[in-house]
């Protein structure tokens, strides 16, 4: 009986939290801080468990991903790539907190070696080589393009040896390039043979024009090359409809363990 009372009390408390969340816009829930409740903790735990020594951080923005790994005791090296000038400067400053955080030259990563123009959004996390769709900027005005910048574009195959020792295979490739993921992978077809894991942004509803990789294509790409899913996390959500725009997926070769 006492167990039933505790169960009912728990359910009642959950309904109360939902009610207050709807009224206030703030939802509070106490949970044990473990990899099951923290995406950042989970990422670091997976990398340390698999012995990943290097993370190639493509689309680093201001260094949030690298910082989150080190906050949870990741013990390897992160090499960050970022093309947007203002973000790059912030990334360099942020990287000084950790000697294992290496910032590459300011550039974009893709499927060619050339000069390109990148579209910079008011909220820099939406910046992309591709143009963002008008319907998304109506939902999120801060995602609108405010300027363009010219920057060098390199294939990962062209520059990987500048940052990671030849023959090193304990590598995770993290790609957060706002619809430009396929181009990054197309320029890494040699490098991918030595990469054990890929963390990639997966569009369920593409918000950029000419996005070439969507959910099923990315899943097929991973399966065909022997990568198995380790983790998924919800990213962009339409706050009006509840539909998920984007998820992050982390995949590793079955031989990585």
Sequence ranges of the domains in the chain: 36-253
Range scoring the smallest mean pLDDT among 28-42, 149-163, 196-210, 217-231: 28-42
Query: What integer is the mean pLDDT of 5-19?
Result: 65
Q: What b/e readout covers 45-72, taking b as 16+ CB neighbours within 10 angstroms?
A: bbbeebebbbbbbbbbbbbebbbbbbeb
> Collapsing DSSP states into helix, strand and coil, what is residue 6?
helix
Say what the pLDDT of residue 20 is: 75
Which of 161, 70, 159, 178 lies closest to 106 in space, CA to CA? 159
Range scoring the smallest mean pLDDT among 33-37, 126-130, 250-254: 33-37
Say what the pLDDT of residue 17 is: 74
| Confidence label for 257 from pLDDT (cuts 50, 70 and 90) | low
Q: What b/e readout covers 143-172, taking b as 16+ CB neighbours within 10 angstroms?
A: bbbeeebebebbbbbbbbeeebeeeeebbb
> Collapsing DSSP states into helix, strand and coil, what is residue 154?
strand
pLDDT(4) > 50? no
pLDDT(9) > 90? no
Say what the pLDDT of residue 86 is: 96
Say what the pLDDT of residue 6 is: 52
Work out the number of other CB atoms within 10 angstroms of the CB of residue 100: 16
Which residue has better confidence, 38 or 252?
A: 252
| Confidence label for 10 from pLDDT (cuts 50, 70 and 90) | low
Helix (H) or strand (E) holding 68, with range, is helix 64-71
Q: How many helices (H) and strands (E) in the chain?
A: 8, 10
153-203 pLDDT, tens per residue?
999 999 999 999 988 999 999 999 999 999 999 999 999 999 999 999 999
Tell me the CATH architecture of domain 36-253.
3-Layer(aba) Sandwich (3.40)
Range scoring the smallest mean pLDDT among 5-14, 36-45, 55-64: 5-14
| Predicted structure pTM score | 0.88
Query: What integer is the mean pLDDT of 89-105?
Result: 97
pLDDT(120) > 50? yes
Say what the pLDDT of residue 1 is: 43
Query: What integer is the mean pLDDT of 211-223?
Result: 94
**Distance (Å, rounded) from C-alpha 18 to C-alpha 188?**
46
Query: What integer is the mean pLDDT of 8-22?
Result: 70
End-to-end CA distance of the chain: 46
Query: What integer is the mean pLDDT of 117-142?
Result: 92
Q: Could you give the count of Cα atoms lying within 13 Å of 244 in the half-sphere of its Cβ?
A: 12
pLDDT over 90, % of the chain: 76
Average pLDDT of the chain? Answer: 90
**Distance (Å, rounded) from C-alpha 44 to C-alpha 213?**
26
Which of 37, 18, 36, 38 lies closest to 28 in space, CA to CA? 18
Say what the pLDDT of residue 36 is: 76
pLDDT(53) > 70? yes
């Amino acid at each position: 009986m006492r167990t039933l009372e505790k169960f009912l009390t728990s359910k009642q408390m959950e309904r109360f939290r939902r009610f207050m969340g709807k009224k206030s816009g703030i939802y509070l829930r106490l949970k044990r801080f473990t990899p099951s409740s923290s995406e950042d903790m989970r990422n670091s735990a997976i990398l340390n468990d698999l012995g990943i020594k290097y993370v190639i951080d493509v689309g680093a923005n201001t260094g949030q991903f690298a910082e989150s790994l080190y906050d949870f005791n990741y013990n390897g090296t992160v090499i960050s790539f970022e093309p947007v000038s203002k973000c790059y400067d912030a990334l360099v400053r942020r990287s000084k907190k950790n000697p294992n955080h290496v910032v590459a030259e300011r550039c974009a990563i893709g499927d060619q070696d050339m000069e390109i123009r990148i579209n910079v959004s008011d909220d820099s996390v939406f910046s992309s080589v591709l143009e963002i769709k008008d319907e998304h900027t109506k939902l999120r005005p801060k995602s609108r393009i405010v300027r363009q910048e010219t920057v060098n574009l390199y294939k990962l195959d062209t520059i990987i040896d500048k940052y990671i020792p030849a023959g090193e295979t304990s590598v995770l490739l993290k790609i957060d390039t706002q619809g430009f993921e396929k181009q990054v992978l197309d320029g890494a077809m040699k490098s991918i043979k030595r990469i054990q894991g890929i963390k990639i942004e997966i569009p369920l509803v593409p918000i950029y024009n000419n996005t070439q990789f969507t959910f099923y294509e990315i899943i097929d790409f991973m399966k065909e090359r022997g990568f198995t899913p380790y983790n998924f996390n919800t990213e962009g959500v339409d706050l009006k409809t509840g539909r998920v725009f984007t998820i992050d997926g982390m995949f590793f070769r079955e031989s990585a363990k």
